[in-house]
């Protein structure tokens, strides 16, 4: 029986980037998945207009939205989990273009009590600006790997080595010897494993930690293993200025670690 898959895309205002990301999903080798746009308060008209675009007519897209009251990514992700029809969840950010094998690799490696985490290339502003919907449909960025390598050496793209997609088992094994942490923009797991920890902790109201480190800590506490898909589940991260990462997230995470519980009382089910 074919695994039912929901891809949850966190999104806030960068509609130009979302068009490129969705072009990447049109090209996926593995079809039959639903996309859920987890919208942290962008103007509703952005997605309403996107849904009218015939280029996306073959994609199954849901829009989950709440009012803009600051950074509440974890809250909208939890709402999206509740709307997801799939038994398997893949999380991605709305500024990360997936490699054509992205969904296929997450599914092929899926297993109960295992969370998969891939990696991403960080594209420079120059490389990002060179991308269009049409160029992505024709094979970018994965067909521009030489340009990307040059930009990594002489330009401002970095983590370029994470953009290589390997098919050979030996290379996959070699480049995944190192233990890697969960990356919030590129991870997947069975919905049941996420519900067992009550989803994301909604007390995190700033970027970083809340959507990855905290989730990993609670999953591992609940005997869910982290498996790396470096150079297997590949993404291309579109350029933007770094967001500030306030200390309050770190302090909250320290508190969570002291609580020693996989289940957050501030998640999908409020206690």
Q: Is the pLDDT of residue 242 over 90?
A: no
**Mean pLDDT across 88-107:** 99
Query: For residue 95, is pLDDT > 80?
Result: yes
Spans of all domains in the chain: 5-259
> What are the residues whose beta carbons fall under 8 Å from the beta carbon of 118, sequence distance 6 or more?
102, 105, 106, 183, 186, 187, 228, 229, 230, 232, 233, 234, 235
Write down the pLDDT at residue 271: 77
State the residue for tokens 């991403």.
120
Is the peptide bond prior to 141 cis by the omega test (within 30 degrees of 0)? Answer: yes
> Is residue 207 classed exposed, middle or buried when 0-12, 13-18 and 19+ CB atoms within 10 A define those classes?
middle
- Give CA–CA dist 26/9, Å, rounded: 14
pLDDT of residue 237: 98
Per-residue pLDDT, 1: 63
Decide: 235 and 119 in contact? Cβ < 8 Å: yes
What confidence score (pLDDT) does residue 124 get? 98
Q: What's the pTM value of the predicted model, to 2 decimals?
A: 0.97
pLDDT tens-place string over residues 37-76: 999 999 999 999 999 999 999 999 999 999 999 999 999 9
Phi-psi region of 231 (alpha: psi -120 to 50; beta: other; left: phi over 0): left
Q: Which fold has domain 5-259?
A: Spore Coat Polysaccharide Biosynthesis Protein SpsA; Chain A (3.90.550)
Residue 35 pLDDT greater than 80, yes or no: yes
Q: How confident is the model at residue 2 (pLDDT cuts 50, 70, 90)?
A: confident
């Amino acid at each position: 029986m074919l695994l039912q898959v929901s891809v949850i895309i966190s999104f806030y205002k960068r509609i130009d980037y979302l068009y490129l990301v969705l072009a990447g999903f049109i090209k996926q080798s593995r079809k039959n998945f639903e996309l859920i746009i987890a919208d942290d308060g962008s103007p509703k008209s952005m997605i309403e207009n996107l849904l009218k675009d015939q280029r996306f007519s073959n994609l199954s897209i849901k829009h989950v939205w709440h009012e803009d009251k600051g950074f509440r990514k974890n809250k909208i992700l939890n709402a999206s989990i509740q709307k997801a029809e799939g038994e398997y969840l893949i999380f991605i950010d709305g500024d990360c273009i997936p490699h054509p094998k992205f969904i296929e690799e997450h599914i092929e490696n899926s297993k109960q009590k295992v969370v998969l985490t891939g990696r991403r290339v960080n594209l420079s502003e120059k490389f990002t600006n060179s991308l269009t919907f049409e160029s992505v449909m024709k094979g970018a960025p994965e067909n521009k790997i030489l340009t990307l390598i040059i930009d990594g050496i002489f330009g401002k793209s970095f983590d370029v080595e994470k953009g290589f997609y390997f098919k050979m088992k030996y290379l996959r094994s070699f480049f995944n010897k190192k233990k890697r942490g969960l990356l919030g923009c590129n991870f997947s797991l069975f919905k049941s494993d996420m519900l067992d920890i009550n989803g994301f902790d909604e007390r995190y109201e700033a970027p970083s930690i809340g959507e990855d480190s905290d989730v990993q800590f609670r999953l591992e506490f609940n005997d869910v293993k982290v498996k790396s898909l470096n150079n297997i589940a590949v993404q291309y991260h579109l350029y933007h200025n770094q967001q500030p990462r306030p200390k309050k997230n770190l302090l909250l995470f320290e508190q969570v670690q002291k609580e020693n519980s996989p289940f957050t009382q501030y998640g999908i089910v409020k206690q």
